[in-house]
């Protein structure tokens, strides 16, 4: 039986997500043999210019049936394109396409509709990137009226052209040697706008997608840390702290250590601090279960391979820190990745165990497959105590209930404070990674009350699962701390290609949290 689509499997299995890195350490825990990387298909470098290169595939971005001013076509070529538009009925609707060949010396003329939405240019450029991924000629994007529009289109192309095929050993397409040229009269200003923000975003999203896509025998807690070190090497104002199992055990982090004790791969707590400004940091905490079998509370087999992605929250917060640091943003953030592998075994955590957390609270473990909230309990306690943030946002592929409630368009948002919720909602709207607020309520909090410990991690009651999970996490955040919880289970994976997200890992959270961090100051 074929596995369920990723989102359906998550809902059925109460899914988790996994994280990747860069380059492999020799894996002596598993077989000791790791797959050889053959290199991803190369992506087109982005350049900016005032004119389109000769003989480039021409991408015309337009919100109507009319050709924009300045399109580099002769009068005869323009008439031919306009005739094709009339015959096809192309009207510039969002992501609509009209692909033409035989127009002068151009190998391809591709019209892509931008529609009327603010994100239309980015999505149109991403659509073009996916359509032209096998094209050998250089590509030029035209129809961009301003420097910011050109920078936005360049980001859309970068996000849309993402590929992950590094383990395919057969013949592959020749890597495109030619760039994509974004054509605008304000090329210098567009290049500056892209470098100031979008280049870092593209790198952060790519890093997160790679981590989530990688198999769990390649990305596990230790190698996740190694890849993070490699990604940040040479970037100023960055500090990386790593706690191994011995250090966490000494600090009474029984919650994260307990989740990983069934695996021979040790758990890690990773903190990446980027200090681009003075004052207390914004803390971003991510769930990092590099493979989630469910532990003793074993998941069904169908779709379990997707549990390599249960570290998508950790990938998102580290990718956000990378984006901010690369662009030298004037912000102070600490990204916390709680990394563990949840497997059954002779030493695995059992249902019914009681564990102690960093802050001293105790947890009754009812279900070992509700492990993401367990690793976050220690991560949140540690970062609050040691880094004294002015606010905390955690992000996790926490519950299938969020998938059932919202479908693939929104991540679930929980916050105690309306002002905090408004900040997240505004960041979601600005970034295109939207959130939808779900309720916290005293009735739902009862679902995590335990008769023998401070809280329990799961419950068989009919309380909404996403809200119950948020209440559990809330128990480990001080009442006076501005806090939000994002359940990204609905948005972590694209079951089919979308304009800015080829099929697979979405990299969700990087754009959202980057937008939040740039605006939310102490």
The C-alpha atoms of residue 349 and residue 295 are separated, in whole angstroms, by 8
Q: Do strands 180-183 and 46-49 pair parallel, antiparallel, or not at all (unpaired)?
A: parallel
Percent helix, strand, coil in the chain (nearest 5)? 35, 20, 45
How many angstroms separate the Cα of 440 from the Cα of each of 157, 414, 443, 468?
39, 7, 9, 8
Number of other CB atoms surrounding residue 519 within 10 Å = 12
Dihedral angle of Cα 325, 326, 329, 335, to the nearest 10 degrees: -30
Rg of the Cα atoms in the chain: 24
CA end-to-end distance (rounded Å), the chain:
52
Q: What is the 3-state secondary structure (H, E, C) of 506-522?
A: CCCCHHHHHHHHHHCCC
The C-alpha atoms of residue 46 and residue 267 are separated, in whole angstroms, by 38
Nearest to 327 by CA among 238, 423, 455, 396: 238
Active-site residue, selected from the candidate residues 44, 106, 206, 373: 373
**What sign does the dihedral 424-426-431-434 (CA atoms) show?**
positive
Q: What does the buried/exposed string (b/e) look like for 41-63 if buried means 16 or more CB atoms within 10 Å of the residue's CB?
A: bebbebbbeeebbeebbbbbbbb
What is 255-267 written as a DSSP string? Answer: HHHHHHTTSSSPP
Token couple for 172:
């592959």
Helix 221-232 with 199-213: angle, nearest 10 deg: 160
Token couple for 437:
């607020």
233 tagged catalytic = no
7 tagged catalytic = no
Phi and psi angles of residue 183, each rounded to the nearest 5 degrees, phi first? -95, 125
Determine which helix (DSSP H) or strand (DSSP E) holds 151, and give its type and residue range. Answer: helix 147-160
Number of other CB atoms surrounding residue 134 within 10 Å = 9
The C-alpha atoms of residue 242 and residue 70 are separated, in whole angstroms, by 54
Token couple for 100:
């033409």
The C-alpha atoms of residue 368 and residue 363 are separated, in whole angstroms, by 12
Active-site residue, selected from the candidate residues 197, 209, 265, 299: 299
The C-alpha atoms of residue 144 and residue 158 are separated, in whole angstroms, by 16
Residues involved in catalysis = 299, 373
């Amino acid at each position: 039986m074929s596995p369920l689509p990723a989102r359906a499997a998550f809902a059925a299995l109460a899914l988790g997500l996994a994280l990747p890195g860069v380059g492999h350490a020799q894996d002596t825990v598993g077989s000791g043999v790791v797959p050889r990387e053959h290199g991803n298909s190369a992506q087109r470098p982005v350049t900016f210019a005032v004119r389109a290169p000769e003989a480039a595939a021409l991408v015309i971005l337009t919100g109507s049936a009319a050709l924009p001013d300045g399109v580099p076509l002769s009068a005869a070529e323009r008439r031919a394109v306009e005739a094709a538009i009339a015959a096809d009925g192309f009207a510039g609707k969002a992501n609509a396409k009209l692909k033409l060949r035989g127009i002068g010396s151009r190998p391809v003329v591709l019209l892509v509709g931008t529609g009327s939405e603010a994100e239309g240019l980015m999505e149109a450029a991403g659509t073009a990137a996916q359509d032209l991924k096998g094209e050998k000629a250089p590509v030029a994007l035209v129809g961009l009226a301003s420097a910011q529009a050109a920078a936005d289109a360049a980001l859309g192309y970068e996000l849309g052209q993402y590929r992950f095929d590094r383990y395919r050993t057969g013949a592959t397409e020749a890597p495109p040697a030619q760039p994509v040229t974004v054509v605008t009269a304000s090329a210098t200003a567009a290049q500056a706008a892209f470098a100031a923000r979008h280049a870092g975003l593209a790198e952060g999203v790519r890093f997160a997608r790679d981590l989530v896509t990688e198999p769990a025998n390649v990305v596990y807690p230790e190698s996740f840390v190694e890849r993070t070190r490699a990604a940040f090497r040479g970037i100023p104002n960055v500090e990386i702290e790593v706690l191994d199992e011995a250090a966490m055990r000494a600090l009474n982090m029984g919650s994260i250590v307990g989740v990983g004790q069934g695996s021979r791969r040790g758990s890690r707590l990773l903190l990446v601090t980027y200090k681009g400004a003075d004052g207390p940091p914004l803390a971003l905490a991510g769930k990092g279960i590099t493979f989630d079998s469910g532990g003793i509370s074993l998941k069904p087999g169908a779709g379990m391979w997707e549990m390599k992605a249960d570290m998508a929250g950790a990938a998102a917060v580290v990718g956000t820190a990378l984006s901010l640091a690369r662009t030298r943003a004037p912000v102070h953030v600490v990204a916390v990745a709680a990394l563990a592998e949840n497997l059954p075994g002779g030493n695995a955590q059992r249902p019914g165990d009681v564990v102690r957390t960093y802050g001293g609270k105790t947890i009754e473990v009812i279900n070992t497959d509700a492990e993401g909230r367990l690793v976050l309990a220690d991560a949140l306690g540690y970062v609050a105590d040691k880094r004294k943030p002015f606010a905390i946002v955690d992000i996790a592929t926490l519950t299938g209930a969020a998938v059932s409630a919202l479908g693939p368009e929104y991540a679930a948002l929980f916050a105690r404070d309306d002002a905090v919720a408004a900040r997240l909602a505004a960041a979601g709207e600005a970034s295109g990674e939207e959130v939808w607020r779900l309720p916290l309520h005293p009735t739902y909090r009862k679902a995590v009350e335990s008769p023998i410990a401070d809280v329990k991690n799961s419950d068989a009651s009919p309380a909404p699962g996403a809200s119950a999970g948020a209440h559990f996490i809330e128990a480990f955040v001080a009442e006076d701390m501005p806090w939000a919880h994002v359940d990204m289970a609905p948005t972590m994976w694209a079951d089919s290609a979308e304009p800015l997200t080829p099929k697979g890992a979405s990299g969700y959270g990087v754009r959202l949290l980057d937008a939040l961090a740039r605006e939310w100051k102490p």
